[in-house]
Amino acid sequence: MRYAIISDLHGNRQALKAVLTDIRGIGVDQLICLGDCVGYGPRPAEVLELAYAHVHYFILGNHDAVIADRLNPDCFGENARKVIDWTRERLDAKSSQFFARMPLVLCGDGFACAHAQFANPGGFGYLFEAAAAAPSFDAFVEQFLFVGHSHVPGLFVLGGSGVPHWLEPLDFSREEGKRYLINVGSVGQPRDRDLRASYVIFDREQGDVFFRKVPFDIDGYRDDLRRSGLPRTSSCFLDLDERLRPRPLREMVDFRPARRSEFVRRERDVRSLESSLRQLKKSNRRLLVLAVCAFLISSAAVAWALARGGRSEPAAELDSSWTVAALQELVEPVLARVGDELVGMPAVDDFEAGELRPIDEDNRLLHWAFTLGDPESQRVAVERGEDGRAHFVVASRNPSQKIRIVSSAVELGREQRAQVRATFHNCAVESGFAELYSEYTAADGTVRRLNASMVDNLADLGRWSPRSATSEGLREDGGRLRYVLEFQFQGEARVRDCALVLR
């Protein structure tokens, strides 16, 4: 798994677009943002929207936290507070809600990510010296720790001496007995006497870390800043562009670490990489109107074809050969296909009402697969409900491990939009959440989510609760799409009406 890890976008549209272009050219599996999407820069809404479309996992930064009222504005300097007030006016309530749900720490397999530091992540303290890095190494056991916040790329290395030491940015491979705290630098506000945007590529399997520097349109950024009315001093890197001597790093930072009484609530909010889920939903009424029109036109075409004695062909063939890494295989029965649904619930015509069949070697599903984080304490079954509908029945006694249900892939064309649907029901859930999304694999192998809908707490559901999410139209050709359900909970839940619809 190869990750691109970015941080401190700070409303710089030109820098983020340049970095995303560079990432596409390299090719990664997933993209992680270590926070501070907004602040300082003149395009907060555009940058947040662009990041949401490409980033798989977000972490809370101090500038994000203050917008969500999770951090005291008094922690910021006077200039930064002015930009915060200006930024609030240009973001809607959904943006604040998105920041409100971001975790402070994200843990993966052998690595962890935070915005500033790990010992007290809700305080956002700076790691200027090696001594300041030691508590972060003590707080987490992972070999690789990734941060941003200071906007200066480089790394602290902890070896046999037990004393961290600082190294300037250099590509490296892991060594036994050593641990690494890597600052990925800043995309939107570089402070290391280099005008280029900075980020990191991390190859988890190989243990390789690569620092990347990407030039961006400085003049375009300066024009955006001038038109916004924000003070030029909010972007110190412009001083370097005009060959002025930059100020010392300590003078450029416009934030003091929060006191313990000011820490972001739930400062130990640590989330696993697999369960960190993006929440922000983008709404677009014009696309909704176009989708309705497209549906009506499609329905009329089908009716005309049937009236002439013909029949409509499916928009895409499902790939029945695909398997998930291999707890269960894809086998019968066949998929239901209704109208323009390319993925639907399994058929249960031969089930008795109320009959439940576990998915195992003796009863497999065609076009569906699942993985269990803990096969000993988790299961997935199919049931014919009293209403005659097919239900997935998902049970887990291990709330720390996830369950993932995935469909076969369908082809996705240019400008097509994808909608995923499901209806959830709490049978006996004590705690936990579920997410519904579509996973897109582009022609170049890049994987990303197109849309997502979250059930934050399955235990809160008192009745069948529908969820759906719709993506924007793709501007690229080719690619394949899968329907994905993810659960991490304790208890038993049911899901029905699962569908993937192309518009």
Helix axes 13-26, 218-228, angle to 10 degrees: 150
Q: What is the pLDDT of residue 329?
A: 32
Residue 323: pLDDT band by 50, 70, 90 thresholds? very low
- Quote the pTM value: 0.53
pLDDT tens digits along 245-273: 445 566 666 677 777 777 676 555 666 65
Q: What residues contact 170, with CB distance under 8 A and at least 6 apart?
A: 211
Residue 343: pLDDT band by 50, 70, 90 thresholds? low
Average pLDDT, the chain: 81
Residue 110: pLDDT band by 50, 70, 90 thresholds? very high
Short-list 69, 71, 76, 59, CA closest to 9:
59
Q: Is the pLDDT of residue 203 over 80?
A: yes
Q: What is the pLDDT of residue 315?
A: 32
- Beta-bridge mates of residue 401: none
Residue 444: pLDDT band by 50, 70, 90 thresholds? confident
Between 257 and 359, the higher pLDDT residue: 257
Q: What residues contact 366, with CB distance under 8 A and at least 6 apart?
A: 320, 330, 331, 332, 333, 334, 335, 346
Between CA 400 and CA 377 the distance in angstroms is 11
Please count the CA atoms within 13 angstroms of the CA of 121 that sit on its side-chain side.
Answer: 30
**138, 142, 148, 153: CA torsion to nearest 10:** 100
Between CA 488 and CA 377 the distance in angstroms is 12
Between CA 246 and CA 194 the distance in angstroms is 11
Q: What residues contact 464, with CB distance under 8 A and at least 6 apart?
A: 423, 424, 425, 496
Q: What is the pLDDT of residue 16?
A: 96
Which residue in this structure is represented by tokens 């007030």? 85
Between 412 and 170, the higher pLDDT residue: 170
Q: What is the pLDDT of residue 306?
A: 53
Instruction: Give me the mean pLDDT over the 349-354 stretch.
Output: 71
Between 457 and 278, the higher pLDDT residue: 457
CATH code of domain 2-104+183-275? 3.60.21.10
Q: Is the pLDDT of residue 287 over 60?
A: no
Per-residue exposure over 86-95, b if at least 16 CB sit within 10 Å of its own CB, e if not: bbeebbeeeb
Q: What is the pLDDT of residue 282?
A: 44
* Assigned token pair, 445: 């192998």
Between 66 and 413, the higher pLDDT residue: 66
Distances from the Cα of 339 to the Cα of 336, 488, 503, angstroms:
10, 32, 12
Q: What is the pLDDT of residue 408?
A: 80
Asked if 220 contacts 14 with a C-beta cutoff of 8 angstroms, the reply is yes
Kind and range of the H or E run holding 166: strand 165-167
Q: What is the pLDDT of residue 14?
A: 95
Q: What is the pLDDT of residue 186?
A: 97
Q: What is the pLDDT of residue 500?
A: 84
pLDDT tens digits along 214-239: 999 998 999 999 999 988 777 888 87
Pick the CATH number of 316-502 from 3.40.50.300, 3.20.20.140, 2.160.10.10, 2.60.120.200: 2.60.120.200
**Boundaries of every domain in the chain:** 2-104+183-275, 281-313, 316-502
Residue 322: pLDDT band by 50, 70, 90 thresholds? very low
Q: Which of 60-69, 171-180, 357-366, 404-413 has the lowest mean pLDDT?
A: 357-366
Residue 335: pLDDT band by 50, 70, 90 thresholds? very low
pLDDT tens digits along 133-154: 999 999 999 999 999 999 999 9
